[in-house]
Structure 1
Amino acid sequence: MTGDPQPTPFRPSTAIDEVADFLADPVEAADFPRTILRFRNDRAATQVGLADLTDAAWTAHFGRFLPLEGSLHRPLALRYHGHQFRAYNPDIGDGRGFLFAQMIDDRDRLLDLGTKGSGQTPYSRFGDGRLTLKGGMREILATEMLEALGVRTSRTFSLIETGEALHRGDEPSPTRSSVLVRMSHSHVRIGSVQRLATLGLTDEITRLARYALRHLFGEKPGDTPELRLLELVVAGTARLAASYMAAGFVHGVLNTDNINVTAESFDYGPWRFTPHWDMGFTAAYFDHQGLYAFGRQAHAIHWNVVQLAIALSKVQPVEALAPILDTFPALYERAISDAMLARLGVTTADEQADLALVQAIEAALTPGEVTIDRFFFDWAGGRRRGASPADAAYDAPAFVELAGLLEGRTPSGPLDHPHWTDANPCSMHIEEVEEIWSHIDRDDDWGQLNAKVAAIRRMGEALARLRG
């Protein structure tokens, strides 16, 4: 006889203490005028044993930063350097956030709770250490959409409005303030290793590599932990870059301090979902050269991993590092086939056939007659599923050729979720983001945001079933 599944217990951790002496500085959270709970991610909280917190307790922990019992007794601002738009900057670090807690989830993974907008730190420079409420709302939408589309992403755990009036140069001011808590599989960045290399802290590079292998990848460190770490980062970031493309997502700021060694996407500022397969589409208004444009993200991520290898060359020979870096293009090619076919919901075949199919999808979408979301919605399972506003476009030669390449492919899972009977796909373009914010800003109406999160999660359920 079996009973109901037991709820996940809260399992706190302080693993970061192994490397905190060279990786972080103790800090204090800001004392906010108000703490108004706006979003709590109970789905994520269930996975780490925190879903039973009352709203008052939730706000105490994630608005006032009362320590979670058994975890970190004081927040830690992480130290790192980074290439920002290819210029090396040694004067960065956690300037408006900190690592608040660590815990083990229901998959036995070490997870971090980190903040955004929690106040000034030694790395704030001239910043106020705050986050706009709009910025927090945008991060909810980005993480929920990416999670539904199968991208390995941090999750927005909590958003609390803090009652301060913030002035910003790139949006109407004064504007409302917030503090966000994200749940992420580590906050150790490529820039964390770069800092150690720049400062000549070679023993610490090895210690950090061992920490990452042991706690983030569940591996026993061998004699060359730096080489194994690079192998894992190369493979993971190739998958990350591919998943961005299949999602139609543009991160906007792919600096080395924004690339996690676990290859989990995080830290969403000027993100966008491109409506069309436009390789030159950019998210950041200040990305004048298109360095991080939609079609250049794989190159940008690979470039960042090269910087990791350069940092690791302080402790390992270039001759051992270079062959690992050289595997990125082939890994990315396979990963983009897997990601595109997973979103389409069809089984894979041999490598060349899958690549030809992906190229046909890109060729069909490039003219811009059909949005990315509309195509994957209408062709889920590998067949046109019925009448669509895009039917005229689907008669074009490129789509006819694509249909021929899909012959013989079978759906990778069932199409029995109610999502597939909707008239339109669930999208997340900038116009809708602005519309949702306008209701919050003008009327303090959170109904559209909550409805959108529910719709995204509903789509995520359908896609998860289709992926099999």
Structure 2
Amino acid sequence: MNPSQTEFTNLYCQLSRHFFSEITPEALHEPKLVHHNRTLHDDLQLALSASELLDMVSGNGFPAGCRPIAQKYTGHQFGYYNPDLGDGRGVLLGQWRDSNQQPWDFHLKGCGQTPYSRRGDGRAVLRSAIREHLGGEALHALGINSTRSLAICHNLEAVRRETMEPRASYIRIAKTHVRFGHFEWLAQIEDKAGMQLLADYVIETVYPHLKAIDAADRYAELLNTIAHNTAVMIAGWQAVGFCHGVLNSDNMSVAGETFDFGPYAFMDDFEIHFICNHSDTEGRYAYSQQPNIGLWNCQLLAQAFGLLVSEQQQEAALNTYVETYNHEYLQRMRAKIGLQEPLPEDRELVADLLILMDQSQLDFQHFFLQLADFENEQACLNAGWPMDSNNWQAWLKRYFIRRQLELFPEGCSQRIRQHTPLFVLRNYINQEVIAAAEQGDFDLMDRVFQALGSPFEKVSGVPARYYEPPQSENQKGLILSCSS
């Protein structure tokens, strides 16, 4: 047992009662454990037995100190403000502190209706549970901040979505479940006292280092820190070709963690304007728009913080987002082509590369692995790679000249491999895992989960084709719905 804590607490319950509603979860009958993230379990120094874990993830019983609640918030969905939001199919059980005294939220998803479910049934299906379970682990292993799933269970009940699907529930672990939409709600009802309470809660649980800052500047620095962490997260998404799909402000975490997985996708053939959500008919959340939407959501948050900070401080936070994103993205993309020393021409070199990849429809993941195999321009041309065209030849010439400006140009290929995963959670792999699981076969999910934990090396037992680009067109660019 963690020596610093013997039971859970629910710190959120210390806030005013209008922030949440107490809930009795709708338990799954005769549940079976689908998958247990043992690495996360050990990282958190949990001491849950197998039966205690199954009870917790199925809603049949909770450790001492848990107090299930559903949070109230609002947010902008596809650009429009919705005042009627809140935890509609999940409950915050409480927090567990790790050995560093960091409290981690335990959030049970799929446990039935809450006062904020509107017309929904509050349940989850196995398909969406698996997608979030795998997606969070994929991003975490790639060094991108993300919520993670501790465990999934299912039973024989059926839930209606587009079709009848097997019911499931799972536990999401996060630094916090406070969203941008929480602050939008408090600003909308002009609750300055509530805004201060929530800001203090976020500082206490997520950013305790901010307590050392003078009280007059503390909230401005909180806003600035959230903007910074959001920019770092989205720069990470762009560099690995990850599309979230539903970047509504109620899906944005103030911890800068990837939050609320839905129709997400890791890109196959590179498309600058790739859309992974078929509900997004106007491309609002396309891959190319994610950085701008991140800024737009930070603008909403900054406006809400207007109850606590000045206009100048709001603007400073938005500038922090822009500057941080530009720096982080270029740094990550520079590394993906093996470069380390920052030079002014790198921005244009990367931009021109993305245009060519889009025009040539090259696999976003595999391209960089192939680039690492060549030491000079002539070797690429001799191999007819990546494409025998004047535009590609001109880019390759610029690129290899640029490599020679590195302090250690001979290390470029190694740097590419260090920043390019061999295993990527493509949507067709997700679909194959889900199809097997729905037939009661969880072996493939176990093997894929192992591969996600070591994305830069090949893991035995994983189908070899999963380490190659999709072989058929119907495996590429799968577009899913919000119900995913």
Provide the TM-score with structure 1 as the length reference: 0.86
**1:341: how far off?**
3.8
Is 1:338 aligned with 2:331? yes
Partner of 1:58: 53
Partner of 1:43: 39
Partner of 1:444: 440
Q: CA 1:54/1:412 → structure 2, altered by over 3 Å: closer, same or farther?
A: farther
Q: Secondary structure at the match of 1:290?
A: coil
Partner of 2:428: 431
Greater shift in the superposed pair: 183-192 or 317-326: 317-326
Q: CA 1:104/1:400 → structure 2, altered by over 3 Å: closer, same or farther?
A: farther
Q: CA 1:439/1:226 → structure 2, altered by over 3 Å: closer, same or farther?
A: same
Partner of 1:189: 179
Distance in 2 (alpha carbons) for counterparts of 1:228 and 1:26:
32
Greater shift in the superposed pair: 362-371 or 306-315: 362-371
Of the candidates 114, 125, 128, which is equivalent to residue 132 of structure 1?
A: 125
Partner of 1:366: 358
Greater shift in the superposed pair: 267-276 or 319-328: 319-328
**1:361: how far off?**
4.0
Distance in 2 (alpha carbons) for counterparts of 1:409 and 1:162:
58
Distance in 2 (alpha carbons) for counterparts of 1:178 and 1:20:
32
Distance in 2 (alpha carbons) for counterparts of 1:115 and 1:20:
22
Of the candidates 74, 81, 86, which is equivalent to residue 88 of structure 1?
A: 81
Partner of 1:455: 451
Deviation digits for residues 412-433 of structure 1 (CA, Å, limit 9, x no counterpart): 89969xx99x9x9322222222
- For 1:367, the aligned partner's letter is Q
8 Å CA contact 1:381, 1:415 repeated in 2: no
Is 1:250 aligned with 2:243? yes
Q: CA 1:378/1:414 → structure 2, altered by over 3 Å: closer, same or farther?
A: closer
8 Å CA contact 2:105, 2:175 repeated in 1: yes
Distance in 2 (alpha carbons) for counterparts of 1:191 and 1:128:
22
Q: CA 1:124/1:414 → structure 2, altered by over 3 Å: closer, same or farther?
A: same
Distance in 1 (alpha carbons) for counterparts of 2:72 and 2:278:
27
Q: Secondary structure at the match of 2:139?
A: helix
Deviation digits for residues 177-196 of structure 1 (CA, Å, limit 9, x no counterpart): 10011111111000000111
Partner of 1:406: 403
Partner of 1:465: none
Q: What is the count of residue pairs matched by the alignment?
A: 445
8 Å CA contact 2:2, 2:98 repeated in 1: no
Q: CA 1:368/1:54 → structure 2, altered by over 3 Å: closer, same or farther?
A: farther
8 Å CA contact 2:224, 2:316 repeated in 1: no
- For 2:455, the aligned partner's letter is M
Greater shift in the superposed pair: 138-147 or 18-27: 18-27
**1:358: how far off?**
3.2
Q: Secondary structure at the match of 1:80?
A: strand
8 Å CA contact 2:19, 2:71 repeated in 1: yes
Q: CA 1:110/1:65 → structure 2, altered by over 3 Å: closer, same or farther?
A: farther
1:139-154 residue pairs with structure 2 within 5 A? 139-154=132-147
Provide the TM-score with structure 2 as the length reference: 0.84
1:40-439 residue pairs with structure 2 within 5 A? 40-50=36-46, 52-69=47-64, 71-72=65-66, 74-169=67-162, 173-218=163-208, 219-220=210-211, 222-342=215-335, 344=336, 346=338, 348-350=340-342, 352-379=344-371, 392-393=385-386, 396-397=392-393, 398-407=395-404, 408=406, 410=408, 425-439=422-436
Distance in 2 (alpha carbons) for counterparts of 1:256 and 1:144:
23
Greater shift in the superposed pair: 102-111 or 189-198: 102-111
Distance in 2 (alpha carbons) for counterparts of 1:383 and 1:60:
56
Percent identity over paired residues = 25
Q: Secondary structure at the match of 2:135?
A: helix
8 Å CA contact 2:425, 2:452 repeated in 1: no
Q: CA 1:106/1:348 → structure 2, altered by over 3 Å: closer, same or farther?
A: farther
- For 1:436, the aligned partner's letter is V
Q: CA 1:369/1:160 → structure 2, altered by over 3 Å: closer, same or farther?
A: same
Q: What RMSD in Å do the two structures reach over aligned CA positions? A: 3.1
8 Å CA contact 2:246, 2:263 repeated in 1: yes
- For 2:264, the aligned partner's letter is W
Deviation digits for residues 56-77 of structure 1 (CA, Å, limit 9, x no counterpart): 12101221352323x43x2111
**1:345: how far off?**
7.8
8 Å CA contact 2:95, 2:106 repeated in 1: yes
Structure 1 residue ranges without an equivalent (≥5):
1-5, 463-468
Q: CA 1:404/1:8 → structure 2, altered by over 3 Å: closer, same or farther?
A: farther
- For 1:56, the aligned partner's letter is S
**1:297: how far off?**
0.3
**1:315: how far off?**
3.1
Deviation digits for residues 354-376 of structure 1 (CA, Å, limit 9, x no counterpart): 43453354244222443111123
Q: CA 1:360/1:349 → structure 2, altered by over 3 Å: closer, same or farther?
A: farther
**1:116: how far off?**
1.7
Structure 2 residue ranges without an equivalent (≥5):
459-484
Deviation digits for residues 325-352 of structure 1 (CA, Å, limit 9, x no counterpart): 133222211010223245x284632362
**1:168: how far off?**
0.9
8 Å CA contact 1:206, 1:225 repeated in 2: no
